[in-house]
Amino acid sequence: MSTIEKADRIKNLPPYLFAKIDQMKEKMKQKGMDLIDLGVGDPDLPTPPPIITALQDAAKDPKNHRYPSYSGMIEFREAVSQWYQQRFQVTLDPRSEVISLIGSKEGIAHIPLAYINPQDCVLIPEPGYPVYSTATLFAGGHPYFMPLLKEKNFLPDFSAIPEEILRKAKLMYLNYPNNPTAAVADQSFFAEAVTLAREYQFVLCHDAAYTEIFFDGYQPGSILEIPGAKEVAIEFHSLSKTYNMTGWRIGFAVGNPEAIAALGQVKTNIDSGVAQAIQVAGMQALLGDQTFLDEMRTTYQERRDVLIVGLKEAGFEVTVPKATFYLWIKTPAGFTAEECTAHLLTNAGIVTTPGNGFGTSGEGFIRMALTVNKERSAEAVERIRKLDF
Ligand SMILES: *Cc1c(COP(=O)(O)O)cnc(C)c1O
């Protein structure tokens, strides 16, 4: 069977850059090295108890054992719309402007199938979440990469996109607060993006997975706060990072009703919605007491500060992030991203992610995730201090 030729869309996928790190990680583990894993963006904190209780109760009710509604229970979509109103002062019609997703990755991956014909362009930030480009390729589209550079505060320079590309563009992905650079965007940047999308008529897809992980009094906005945004934009949200629910698979998209309907049309033909008991738990997450979020942010902030202080003392160049649970760190002179990652892993047992794994403009950076506790973060700093760079 292994001789059967696979489809080009699989064969043409870019090589998995993290495979080498995984291999090295495995080797160090076998040698008995005590690894500190700052590699994956998966919260180590548990899901808050009221959400778990809501799932337990909902799981007992037979009406939750059947096929769910494709677009999500109306109660869940109402909860999303209420959360949006409260958090962003954006009004959403739960029936036409909200759809449930099996994790936001699912929607991000499916939206190109609704809009992309061969030859159509998709504007993609790079470095960035790898799904934007693979989903584009799966749909037969052409990725056009917008580099995120430090000198531009990791915001794409729209004026650098050629006119003919803009005319062929059907979709643009944006992601702020940003993974992997930890950069944030202000409302004037979102307004610029909305103006461009309205002028060239493409769907603006804003991945907002990290809006609730913020520090120092900063609070990220929604792209839908921009007047006219709903004509062209949809926003993807995830309960994964906000409520420590990565394994539960629940998220949602909101915004332009035509785009929401088109995404729904794709999904109806592929999946059958989010398990109802999970949606009930999601409603508890969105509508329940939110004070736990403050504790969570404090936890991340403490870890951030331990690492930042230590890294700076060790001579690293790193910006203090206002949001996300990532640090985007310049590699020391003489080290590529992969060399730096390998050095930290083999000589200090610290797992990090090479920036070029997210796109060529990520070369010269490594990413650390704030997903180990304060004590282990301090231990990581101690180990880094002893290394030669
Ligand atoms: C984690 C993450 C997501 C998706 O998470 P889901 O678990 O699929 O909801 C989307 N975008 C970015 C940038 C992420 O880091």
Instruction: Check if 331 has its Cβ closer than 6 Å to any atom of ligand 1.
Output: no
Q: Which neighbouring-strand residues pair with 234?
A: 205, 255
Nearest atom in ligand 1 to 239's CA? 9
pLDDT band at 1 (very low <50, low <70, confident <90, very high): low
Q: Find out whether 119 and 168 touch, Cβ atoms under 8 Å.
A: yes
Average pLDDT, rounded, for the chain: 96
Instruction: Indicate whether 36 pLDDT > 70.
Output: yes
Q: How far is the CA of 285 from the centre of ligand 1 (A)?
A: 17
Nearest CA to ligand 1 atom 15: 179
pLDDT at residue number 15:
74
pLDDT at residue number 88:
98
At 106, is the secondary structure helix, strand, or coil?
Answer: helix
How confident is the model over 127-184, as pLDDT tens digits? 999 999 999 999 999 999 999 999 999 999 999 999 999 999 999 999 999 999 999 9
Q: How far is the CA of 178 from the centre of ligand 1 (A)?
A: 11
pLDDT at residue number 17:
67
pLDDT band at 26 (very low <50, low <70, confident <90, very high): very high
Q: Find out whether 335 and 343 touch, Cβ atoms under 8 Å.
A: yes
How confident is the model over 301-333, as pLDDT tens digits? 999 999 999 999 999 999 999 999 999 999 999
Residue whose entry in the numeric block shows the structure tokens 């962003």: 88
pLDDT band at 14 (very low <50, low <70, confident <90, very high): confident
- H or E stretch covering 147: strand 142-147
Mutation to probe ligand 1, out of 102, 126, 175, 240 (largest number of atoms < 8 A from CB): 240
How confident is the model over 250-296, as pLDDT tens digits? 999 999 999 999 999 999 999 999 999 999 999 999 999 999 999 99
pTM listed for this prediction:
0.97
Burial profile 375-387: b = 16 or more Cβ within 10 angstroms, e = fewer: ebbebbbebbeee
Instruction: Check if 175 has its Cβ closer than 6 Å to any atom of ligand 1.
Output: yes
The torsion defined by the Cα of 218, 328, 212 and 190, in degrees rounded to 10, comes to 70
pLDDT at residue number 389:
83
Rounded CA separation 380/273 (Å):
41
Q: How far is the CA of 180 from the centre of ligand 1 (A)?
A: 11
Instruction: Check if 125 has its Cβ closer than 6 Å to any atom of ligand 1.
Output: no
Average pLDDT (350-365) is 96
Q: Find out whether 344 and 27 touch, Cβ atoms under 8 Å.
A: no
Instruction: Check if 103 has its Cβ closer than 6 Å to any atom of ligand 1.
Output: yes
For 227, residues 6+ apart whose C-beta sits below 8 A from its C-beta are none
Instruction: Check if 42 has its Cβ closer than 6 Å to any atom of ligand 1.
Output: no
Instruction: Indicate whether 388 pLDDT > 90.
Output: no
Mutation to probe ligand 1, out of 207, 252, 286 (largest number of atoms < 8 A from CB): 207
Residue percentage of the chain with pLDDT more than 70: 99
* 48 backbone dihedrals φ, ψ, rounded to 5°: -55, 140
Residue percentage of the chain with pLDDT more than 90: 93
All domains of the chain in start order, with CATH = 8-46+291-385 (3.90.1150.10), 49-287 (3.40.640.10)
How confident is the model over 92-139, as pLDDT tens digits? 999 999 999 999 999 999 999 999 999 899 999 999 999 999 999 999
Burial profile 97-131: b = 16 or more Cβ within 10 angstroms, e = fewer: bbbbbbbbbbbbbbbbbbbbeeebbbbbbbbbbbb
Instruction: Indicate whether 2 pLDDT > 80.
Output: no
